[in-house]
Structure 1
Amino acid sequence: MEEWKKYLHQPNPVSELLNDSIIVIDTNVLLAAYQWREVTVNEVLNALQKIKDEKRLRIPLQVIKEFSRNRPHEIQQRMNDLDTLISKMQKEKPLIERVPMLEGKDSLKEIEELRENYNKAVKNYRDGLINLRDHLKELFYNDHFLDKIMELAEGTILLPEQTEQDLEKEAKERFKLKIPPGFKDSSKEENSSGDFIVWSSILQLKSNVVFVSGDKKPDWVYQDSKKKPITARRELVEEFFIKTGRDFAHITPKDFITSLNPAVSEHVKEDLVNYEAINQQNLSKKDKENINKNSFLKMVSERIIFLLEDLCYKNNITIGRSVYDDLASLTEKRIITEKIREEIEYVLKIYNGLDFNILNDFDVGYAIILGEKCIETLTAYRDF
């Protein structure tokens, strides 16, 4: 082939490549399982098993490393989601405390019965959520999905041809020139070279490749006006073709699964689209600085309130009218120290002051740091 023709190569459509190409999966496809319904997880696992049985599945070692590193955070985040939900569940106090003038009214007795039934239902629901959270905790030690990934990875791992240090060095040189993929991650504090290391593994393959990934960044794909992936970047298609003489294509998890099984349910399609492919550990330093501190303080404060209520339940302490009553009871019973009580009260004071817009970034930032320390201490008290 004449040299110039390489730059005008037209790859086959991904719909055709899916039939006989090597399928490479990205880390986000595996991590997303911790956000999907079981039916969706099974659909994806069945698809990957089918591809493996055809000897067409490949998983870069870098993907396994990233999955291993981020999997605990995904489980932890799901536990935190439940904790946030639990913390918002409040028992209703007797109406007579709010409206004393209703004392003795027949209608008050009826309302009180309804309140008691409501509180019982809230307790049962709360206990059920706590059981679910404990089930998630067990995934750290007994995870059937992890077992399945180990089976799929057997005999499909793509090992790097260079050392990690050499790959990181090459990645930095490419990032300077904005050569995809990965330059969008160049500011990451951790794993900034991850995408390029995955790409270097893909470049080893001497056949057509379809890369299944939820990554929508413009250093991997072209996007439409709604930020949805259209197709792989021309630079990637071209580099792969020049090196191997073969075609490279990018496909989303949804398009991958629906191409293999057009009859999948709408629930599965919804899951395959609506998941968060980037977690906190993958944010760049600049992105982290741009996170709304007020929202983060709200999350920290809600977590503290939940842990305090949980401590009350575990120590048979009646929940008070306010979180400050709970703090007083826990301190009086010597469940928590006076020092941790003062620190928590400070965090809650700053949190409550957010509504008045009188706080500066330093106050909020310090409250967040102190709040995270309080969460660690309360968690230790709870698990003791």
Structure 2
Amino acid sequence: MNKNFHNLFIDVKKLDEVFNDAIIVVDTNVLLMAYQWRDITFETVYDILNELAEQDRLKIPNQVIEEFANQRPRRIRDLSNDVHSKILSRLTSGSVKDATKHAELEGVIPSLVFFENTEKLLENEKKYNEALTALTSAQKQYKESLNNLLDDIKEYIDNDPILDKYRKIFEISVLDEPKYDDQELKDDLERRKKENVPPGYKDKGHMGDLKIWREILSLANNNVIFITRDNKNDWVYKDSSQRIISARRELVEEFYKVNNKTFKMLSPVEFVEKYSKTKGHNMRKEVKEDMEKSSLAYVRNFTLLNAEAHGLSPEEIKSGNNLVLRYQIDGLEKKINEYLSVAYDEKILLDDEYTSIMEELKLAEELKKENLSLAKEQYSEVLKKLQNVFSIVFD
């Protein structure tokens, strides 16, 4: 039997069949999300991870810990920056100060005695002034509390309460550091890039994901569920809403070839929701909402960490302008490239269709230099055309 044909019929189990006994592997981005979650969300996820660790079902790749250690100080810095930029800097005494400087009504209109409802007017002015005084006092106390919080955050680099919570889990669950043949690892990464084989072929020269994958492959005789935030485009298939559909088939086949077992992938919210149901209760609404939200801070951090790859100017990096648009355009480009790759392999596009698509992409690339909003619209149109072609072909 042809090898590729044979791979179509490997014995991959359904998620429900492996969920209760599979090894759970978490990605770096899951651990780092603790610095964005509310307390109730962190405690929910922590309790699950702790329970899995005690059952020896949680495994954390050594590479994940290395990446977590490198990125943790940056996340703490971001917490401090957010307190400054989103709260403290806006608590300038501006509006309150201006309001408290207003002239007394009797000084503006000395002849108030000749107007109706003067007593009520003066009483309301008194109440207003008392409220402003109370607000000024409350604002001062709030600013003092925020400054105390910033002092606490400064200590988090060396005395991090989230890291302290993680310590027990790390001690139980972190995999031993593997010994790599550096040249063999580089050769494997280059092969994957050349052949568009996940993971790592979209990592622009880095091999972090490949190292994580190697550690996952080392979990012999176990079905594995890998939990990662929905941003690994060379690991998963996604739907039009960017939700994970499944792990890339290449990964499923490689894992099965090495271990004769099943490999699955879930987003954090999907995993917590399913785990909660196995315990006989639904995921709390506020926890689900907290995990599902895609915060501007995350988009900004993601883009700034890849500033050069996203073509950001020093001014944009400093100001944060256009970061969301660039991030969205980056996602559209990746999606388009995925469609084009399949279209090329399967010979789906006719020559004139391919030429038309490439001309429209060229226009989008030109627009990206001048107007990101128009560029996003153009990329969206190209993606829509590709999706229409695929829907006709596979309908």
TM-score, normalised relative to structure 2: 0.66
Most deviating of 144-153 and 195-204: 144-153
Which of 261, 267, 271 is equivalent to 2:290? Answer: 271
* 1:349-383 C-alpha deviation (Å, 9 max, x unpaired): xxxxxxxxxxx9xxxxxxxxxxxxxxxxxxxxxxx
1:193 paired residue number: 207
User: 1:202 deviation in Å?
Assistant: 0.8
CA offset at residue 138 of structure 1?
2.5
* 2:78 partner amino acid: Q
Alpha-carbon distance change, 297 to 59 in structure 1, aligned in 2, over 3 angstroms = closer
> Alpha-carbon deviation of 1:287?
1.6
Does 2:173 correspond to 1:171? no
- What's the CA shift for 1:140? 1.7
| Aligned mates of 2:100, 2:79 — CA distance in 1 | 38
CA-CA distance at 1:99 after TM superposition: 6.8
1:143-162 paired onto structure 2 within 5 Å = 143-158=160-175, 159-162=177-180
Pick closer, same or farther for the CA change 1:148–1:98 going to 2, 3 Å: closer
Matched, 1:135 2:152: yes
Say whether residues 1:63 and 2:67 are aligned partners. Answer: no
- In structure 2, do the counterparts of structure 1 residues 53 and 124 end up closer, same or farther at CA, with 3 Å as the change threshold? same
- Offset, 1:86: 0.7
Q: Distance in 1 between matches of 2:303 and 2:152?
A: 23
CA distance in 1, matches of 2:92, 2:229: 38
Q: Secondary structure at the match of 2:91?
A: coil
Partner of 1:34: 35
Any gaps of 5 or more consecutive residues in structure 2? 110-121, 323-369, 371-395
Map 1:1-384 to 2 at 5 A. 3=3, 4-84=5-85, 85-91=87-93, 92-95=96-99, 103-104=107-108, 111-158=128-175, 159-163=177-181, 166-186=184-204, 192-206=206-220, 207-262=222-277, 263-274=282-293, 276=298, 279=302, 282-283=305-306, 285-287=308-310, 289=312, 293=316, 296=319
Structure 2 vs 1, CA of residues 166 and 5 (structure 1 numbering), >3 Å: closer, same or farther? closer
Alpha-carbon spacing, 1:168–1:289, altered in 2? closer, same or farther (3 Å): farther
Paired AA for residue 251 in structure 2: L
Once structures 1 and 2 are overlaid, which stretch shifts more, 162-171 or 201-210? 162-171
Runs of 4+ in structure 1 over 6 Å off: 98-102
Deviation at 1:266, TM superposition (A): 0.9
Q: Quick one: which amino acid aligns to residue 154 of structure 2? A: K
CA distance in 1, matches of 2:99, 2:305: 48
Shift of residue 113 of structure 1?
A: 3.9
Give the residue type in structure 1 aligned to 2:89. S
Q: Which amino acid aligns with 1:26?
A: D
CA contact (8 A) 2:230 2:242 kept: no
SS for the counterpart of 1:48 is helix
Tell which deviates more after alignment, 13-22 or 276-285.
Answer: 276-285
Question: 1:252 & 1:290 partners in 2: Cα distance?
Answer: 32
Deviation per residue, 1:161-214 (Å, 9 max, x gap): 414564344323322322111222216xxxx21111101111112121110111
Residues 294 and 243 from structure 1, CA distance in 2 versus in 1: closer, same or farther, beyond 3 angstroms?
A: closer
Cα distance in 1 between the residues matched to 2:71 and 2:14: 33
> Structure 1: where are the runs of 5+ without partners?
300-359, 361-384
Greater CA drift, 24-33 or 206-215: 206-215
* Structure 2 counterpart of 1:88, one-letter code: R
- C-alpha RMSD of matched pairs (Å): 3.1
**SS in structure 2 of the partner of residue 254 of structure 1:** helix
Alignment partners' CA distance in 1, 2:62 and 2:157: 21
- Quote the Cα distance in structure 2 between the aligned partners of 1:219 and 1:297: 27
Deviates more, 1:81-90 or 1:165-174: 165-174
Counterparts of 2:26 and 2:148, CA distance in 1:
33
| In structure 2, distance between residues paired with 1:294 and 1:260 | 39
* Deviations, residues 236-281 of structure 1 (Å, cap 9, x unaligned): 1111112221111001111111212132311111222225386356
- Give the Cα–Cα distance (whole angstroms) in 2 for the partners of residues 75 and 61 of structure 1: 22
User: Following TM superposition, by how much is the alpha carbon of 1:148 offset from its aligned partner in structure 2, in angstroms?
Assistant: 3.1
Report the residue type matching 1:57 in the other structure.
Answer: L
SS in 1 for 2:265: strand
Question: Quick one: structure 1 residues 16 and 273, their matched pair in 2 at CA, closer, same or farther if it must change by over 3 Å?
Answer: farther
Conserved? CA contact 2:34–2:42, under 8 Å: yes
Aligned residue-pair number: 296
Structure number with higher relative contact order (C-alpha < 8 Å, ≥ 6 residues apart): 1
Q: Is the CA contact (8 Å cut-off) linking 1:52 and 1:152 kept in structure 2?
A: yes
Percent of residue pairs identical: 33
TM-score by length of 1: 0.68
1:294 Cα offset (Å): 8.6
Deviation of the 1:222 alpha carbon:
0.6
Cα 1:64–1:95 shift into 2, 3 Å: closer
Query: In structure 2, how many angstroms separate the alpha carbons of the residues matched to 1:100 and 1:259?
Result: 62
Query: In the TM superposition, what is the alpha-carbon distance from 1:297 to its structure 2 partner?
Result: 6.4
1:102 Cα deviation from its structure 2 partner? 7.4
